[in-house]
Structure 1
Amino acid sequence: MSLTPQWLRHYQKAWLAGDLTAGLIVTVMLIPQSLAYALLAGLPPEVGLYASILPIVAYALLGSSMTLAVGPVAVASLMTASAIAPLAVAGTAEYAALAVQLSLISGAMLLAFGVMRLGFLAHFLSHPVISGFITGSAVVIAIGQLKHLLGVRVPSSSTWETLKGLVLALPQTNVATLALGLGSLIFLVVARRYLSGWLVRMGMPAKVAELLTKLAPMVAVIASIAVVALARLDLSAKVSVVGVVPQGLPHMELALPGLSTVGQLWLPALLIALVGFVESVSVAQSLALKRQQRIAPNKELLGLGAANIASALSGGYPVTGGFARSVVNFAAGANTPLAGVVSAALMALVIASMTGAFYYLPHAVLAATIIVAVVSLVDFDTLKEAWHYDRADALSLMATALGVIAMGVEVGILMGVALSLGVLVWRSSRPHMAVVGRVPGTEHFRNIERHSVETVPGLLALRVDESLFFANASALEDRVEDLIRADATVRRVVLVCSAVNQIDTTALGVLTELHASLAKRGVSLALAEVKGPVMDRLQHTALGRALQGRVFQSVHAAFTALRAA
């Protein structure tokens, strides 16, 4: 088997122009994002640049998406800060080392999941839970960046403590910093909402106008650097700037974590891996559908795992597929992962020779970039839709979001997952069961409460619309007993099992007891439309042997035989 990626083996010259253009545009967009997200993670700005080179190349070799742009993202940066903040002081060498170890552990988990072909894990986090997690994270991130926007010092702590600290620090607001940050914020919001339309009305093609709009953060970065450098606002107005960003490519080294470090980081690493995987697959699939391409979840696990290990190797921190960058990559004409490789090469050039240009970059402008980026992640549309369609999903979304805001990212997402699983078990424990009758002149059977159907006196046919297991077996028994008490003429009970995919040991015991109890009262029990895998297991049990001759292939056959009897 060739180790060369399929896209590279079948590469066409016609794709090269689009890949080169997309690589250049994404690099211009990636530079301010990488700097900003590294600071969000509590790391030096150059770490964000380091995490934007090798991970992209590693994903290009193993991933399955042609247009997914891998690198630092807001949510993974917040999760990194949340995981490491209790263990080390931000900005220290120990903190940076833990970030590398977190990326390594997360990458190893993703690779292991990929080798074991666990791509189906993408379905274990429901859309409302992911939406609530991202929404809550966006709120936490935005609140955490307000101190940089105001130019005040507020200790990093819980969301509520941060808000309290901001209120108390308002009198110390740095006016020059606020002007730069607020000005950048307004510019970015206006550019996002209106710039594309203005450019189109000026005669520019819509696609080009949209791409230029995405580059607004870079414009804000360049303009703010020029203002601070020319006026020396870092000295005269005490504006906080990025300062010296070390020049040169990162050193390649990989220190394996000790058992104590693994014990501290395995849970946040697992959550980062799962959330990053689900987010990446969602973005990759949505873009692939537009070109009739396919995404292989197991290959995505391998690609993202390799990307995170590559990030650790180059001194970075956890990475995943970014929504905004991927959309820009797609719109700019990327045809294959070569666009990402081009972006990585250009980023390496920036790190090797151009980091001095970032010295006068204000933290307030990076904060404005982050705030504008994450505010768009607040998902009110999904909440509104879920509230009207399924209140339980809406409550899961809100609980996850509020949990993240009030108690932190790990607790918030675990709350959301626990609530989703709880709702699933609760619903399964109350399965829909319908008494059915025959539609006149047909062999079809429908709910007697919804349709005009024929029934046979003394014959009760009950359809169970759920697999039978420990949580709902008693509910079935209670329903049968209630129906028999309500109609003393019932002498035959048929359980319609067309929707039953499994009967566990507890449910088997309940059905066995129900059969014996009914028999003592002169009521026979029969089954209809039992699925093959269920029957294979059932026929070797005492209940299966007792029901020989009373398991029917269809409800019609059961009605015909039992009515004749």
Structure 2
Amino acid sequence: MPDLRRYLPVLEWGRTYDRSALSNDTIAAVIVTIMLIPQSLAYALLAGLPPEAGIYASIAPIILYAIFGTSRALAVGPVAVVSLLTASAIGQVAEQGTAGYAVAALTLAFLSGGFLLLLGVLRLGFLANFLSHPVIAGFITASGILIATSQLKHILGISAHGHTLPEMVTSLLASLNEVNLITMLIGVLAVMFLFWVRKGLKPFLKRLGASPMVADIATKAGPVGAVVVTTLAVWGFGLDASGVKIVGEVPQSLPPLTMPGLSGELVQALLVPAILISVIGFVESVSVAQTLAAKKRQRIDPNQELIGLGAANIGAAFTGGYPVTGGFSRSVVNFDAGAETPAAGAYTAVGLAIAAVALTPLVYYLPKATLAATIIVAVLSLIDLSILKKTWGYARADFIAVVATILLTLGLGVEVGVASGVIVSILLHLHKTSRPHVAEVGRVPGSEHFRNIHRHKVETDPSLVTLRVDESLYFVNARFLEELIQKRVTEGCEIRNVVLMFSAVNDVDFSALESLEAVNQRLSDMGVGLHLSEVKGPVMDRLKRAHLINDLNGQVFLSQYDAWLALNQLRSERPGNTAAE
């Protein structure tokens, strides 16, 4: 049973489910459902799919995640960035509005789900760490700009296209003569209203004497208010006849049973985008889940999260949806509304299913400009240009990574942006570790501690050099250490012993081993002893298996202080040489 609970977390939290949890989860589900109805329709529009696809993608996936996921508050469904990635990917293989476009979306969800499941079963969640936070922040910021720009055509009531910022801006400028003034009025007023709802409605209601809960629910339901008012306006004044584009007929049904297309050509075209969507979706989802779990001193299992998200995406593929992941805004609303278990998500799915059956006729006259306004207001919170200032002041390499990711995403598209983000992250890691921090250390007077000679007043011995290696040694940085030792030894003709302090070395790969063997031989030929100190057990085991320890021309010391006592040629009672700070 413990092994089964590991893969089916529902068996764990389901055993302790009680009436209090049911009440809290139900309240949270009602609030999240109200928020998700317009949001799901809007994100389907962003993905280039029929509006019902957004609702379908929010039903089965939520239920499947509730069974397999480990977060108590994560709400799974369509999100802005993944919707944009979906539109970019399937727009390359099918024309929007065709049956092939919808099938491609199903296939993308299926491939994404399969990839996530594979990573989860193989417990490879750590691979997502190859995307550094600055790169993710840069990509999400650029995506927010692209998403907001892509929705301006709906706000203005014009036809425009493009997947990059230059293409979008050029297309928008070329179509300005087609602007529909009524549509623009609806879109601008909706944007203004939604911004006010987000920032000013809650304080306004509190001043009127509303309770915090009522004010909070009203704020969350703000987009619904915009949907209702603009829909009634279009219906009442017949604005669709004046060129205002509306949602139109939405099927009044539960999610249908669908089949993704698995032709070799389609799979080949969508495989790489599916992997990129999976990685971005997982990183976004797990970061949200971990943040919310920490607030209640809970924990999540990243590898099981992969399985939960994989199951959710496969569910979307067979129920008329498209790729999904854990969304920040809906998850925070779910958490703040008091959700205690993943059952809140299942109840949300029930609410959305009811909406799909009973409420879809009510959105027939819903203007697309309102949905675009919903998207714009939601994604502008993703844009964080302060990351540029933060990284510039902290680490120029991270700043370059952020700028490169933003510019490549805006200029070449989201897929190139994601791929370049991964590559930049890996290159940054290789760059940082290719020149590991190696400090020459000396003894702090009157103690057994050793510190950097350039930062502290320490005792040194001209015949003894101790180098503290602050990084694991592998093929990228092995040559650097080898050359550093060679340079230091040739500079000091009095040197008789070199000690490598390995307290921070967690691993030594074969390339690094060969470098250490070369250093040992070279120093031996020069009459200089090579010694090791504070070597960790696993590292020592590997060095012994490779016979380096047996061939070492020096000794291995348990501590650096032992090495100092054994190799220091100065009298212990006489002050040693002191390096200035």
Report how far residue 387 of structure 1 moved: 2.3
Aligned to 1:194: 200
Aligned to 1:547: 552
Q: Paired residue for 1:427, among 428, 432, 438?
A: 432
- Give unmatched runs, 5+ long, in structure 1: none
**Equivalent pair of 1:211/1:331 in contact (CA under 8 Å):** no
Paired AA for residue 364 in structure 2: Y
Report how far residue 394 of structure 1 moved: 2.3
**Equivalent pair of 2:441/2:468 in contact (CA under 8 Å):** yes
| Bigger mean CA deviation after superposition, 111-120 or 365-374 | 111-120
**Equivalent pair of 2:57/2:322 in contact (CA under 8 Å):** yes
Spell out, residue by residue over 1:495-530, the C-alpha distance to the aligned partner (whole angstroms, 9 max, x if none): 111112222222222222222222222222111112
Paired AA for residue 440 in structure 1: P
In structure 1, C-alpha distance between the alignment counterparts of 2:104 and 2:19, rounded to whole Å: 43
TM-score if structure 2 supplies the norm length? 0.94
Aligned to 1:61: 67
Aligned to 2:19: 13
Spell out, residue by residue over 1:520-560, the C-alpha distance to the aligned partner (whole angstroms, 9 max, x if none): 22222111112211121212335322216611111111122
Report how far residue 269 of structure 1 moved: 0.9
| Bigger mean CA deviation after superposition, 279-288 or 96-105 | 279-288
Q: Helix, strand or coil for the counterpart of 2:468?
A: strand
Aligned to 2:52: 46
Equivalent residues in 2 for 1:503-518 (5 A)? 503-518=508-523
Paired AA for residue 283 in structure 1: V
In structure 1, C-alpha distance between the alignment counterparts of 2:215 and 2:398, rounded to whole Å: 38
**C-alpha distance 156-432 of structure 1, shift in aligned 2 (>3 A):** closer
Paired AA for residue 519 in structure 1: S
Aligned to 2:578: none
**Equivalent pair of 2:524/2:553 in contact (CA under 8 Å):** no
Q: Helix, strand or coil for the counterpart of 1:423?
A: helix
Matched, 1:383 2:417: no
Paired AA for residue 472 in structure 1: N
Paired AA for residue 93 in structure 1: A
Q: Paired residue for 1:469, among 474, 497, 512?
A: 474
Provide the alpha-carbon RMSD of the alignment: 1.7
Spell out, residue by residue over 1:316-372, the C-alpha distance to the aligned partner (whole angstroms, 9 max, x if none): 101111111111111112122222222111211111122111111111111111011
Q: Paired residue for 2:332, among 327, 336, 351?
A: 327
TM-score if structure 1 supplies the norm length? 0.96
Aligned to 1:24: 30
Aligned to 1:315: 320
**Equivalent pair of 1:435/1:462 in contact (CA under 8 Å):** yes
Q: Helix, strand or coil for the counterpart of 1:462?
A: strand
Aligned to 1:457: 462
Matched, 1:522 2:527: yes
**Equivalent pair of 1:110/1:305 in contact (CA under 8 Å):** yes
In structure 2, C-alpha distance between the alignment counterparts of 1:444 and 1:523, rounded to whole Å: 24
Report how far residue 32 of structure 1 moved: 0.7
Aligned to 1:557: 562
Report how far residue 478 of structure 1 moved: 2.4
Aligned to 2:364: 359
Report how far residue 476 of structure 1 moved: 1.7
Aligned to 1:72: 78
Q: Helix, strand or coil for the counterpart of 1:539?
A: helix
**C-alpha distance 85-468 of structure 1, shift in aligned 2 (>3 A):** same
| Bigger mean CA deviation after superposition, 319-328 or 14-23 | 14-23
**Equivalent pair of 1:247/1:351 in contact (CA under 8 Å):** yes
Q: Paired residue for 1:231, among 237, 249, 270?
A: 237
Paired AA for residue 187 in structure 1: F
Q: Percent identity?
A: 52
Report how far residue 157 of structure 1 moved: 4.3
Report how far residue 256 of structure 1 moved: 5.6
Q: Helix, strand or coil for the counterpart of 1:5?
A: helix
Report how far residue 564 of structure 1 moved: 6.1
| Bigger mean CA deviation after superposition, 224-233 or 481-490 | 481-490
Matched, 1:480 2:485: yes
**Equivalent pair of 2:130/2:426 in contact (CA under 8 Å):** no
Paired AA for residue 519 in structure 2: L
Equivalent residues in 2 for 1:102-121 (5 A)? 102-121=108-127
Aligned to 1:179: 185
**Equivalent pair of 1:393/1:420 in contact (CA under 8 Å):** no
Matched, 1:90 2:59: no
Spell out, residue by residue over 1:79-105, the C-alpha distance to the aligned partner (whole angstroms, 9 max, x if none): 111110010001110000010011111
Aligned to 1:215: 221
Paired AA for residue 113 in structure 2: G
**Equivalent pair of 1:403/1:413 in contact (CA under 8 Å):** no
